[in-house]
Amino acid sequence: MAFGRSSRTKPYVEPVTLKILVAGGFGVGKTTLVGAVSEIRPLRTEEVLTEAGRPVDDLHGVESKTTTTVAMDFGRITLREDLVLYLFGTPGQDRFWFLWDELAQGALGAIVLADTRRLEDSFAAIDYFERRGIPFTVAVNCFEGAQRFPAESVRGALDLDPEVELVMCDARDRESVKNVLVAVVEHALVLADRTHAAVTS
């Protein structure tokens, strides 16, 4: 004891690290989401959009977009002292989808970021994770000026299974994004426990 205070320090806890993918259509806000919540300077692989890419890059609804992710975005966030998430943002255009298999290896779960102005752009990511059995949560990015729809209407339009959680978020807001990440982790852990119980029973 020194001056009446315990000299013992809290034991170090080795954090569990989990990998989360952030997917969705072109221009939906994946890079913004990763940047909003990352506690490190996010790694970005963005390139300027060119005239040559106009025939294959659909800018409808995102006419002001000038760059695009060509490999991935990477960020990190500590949710608790014993839980660290590594975030990998996937490229949105279909010509870069060959990278998804590499990025998906070892992922606990995923966020499918959706834009109600271009909901059809979400189907490829939803189908990808469903086919591979990767748990995911759909996060509707509430863009400024975009029309808002009830969650159940969006769920019906995306034809989501009942167990898939759908949340509203602002990809620019750190706390909003943290809530989405917590939802993804909790959903994935529930499914993992359910699978484990089924295997061991």
Distances (CA, A) of 50 to 53, 56, 60, 118: 5, 11, 15, 22
pLDDT at 54: 46
Mean pLDDT by 10 residues, the chain (201 residues): 55 87 92 94 63 48 49 87 93 71 93 94 94 96 87 96 94 96 94 82 72
pTM over 0.85: no
Q: Which helix (H) or strand (E) holds 101?
A: helix 100-104
Q: What is the pLDDT of residues 134-149, one digit of tens each?
A: 999 999 999 887 788 9
**Predicted confidence (pLDDT) per residue in 88-121, tens digit:** 998 866 666 678 888 899 999 999 999 999 999 9
User: Quick one: tokens of 200?
Assistant: 């061991």
Measured CA to CA in angstroms, residue 144 lies from 2, 43, 129 at distances of: 56, 26, 28
The pLDDT value recorded for residue 51 is: 47
- Domain residue extents for the chain: 16-200
Of 89, 83, 82, 80, nearest in space to 36 by CA: 89
Instruction: Give how far the C-alpha of residue 20 lies from the chain's centroid of Cα atoms, to the nearest Å.
Output: 6
Is CATH 3.40.50.300 the classification given to domain 16-200? yes
Sign, CA torsion 133/17/89/101 = negative
pLDDT at 60: 54
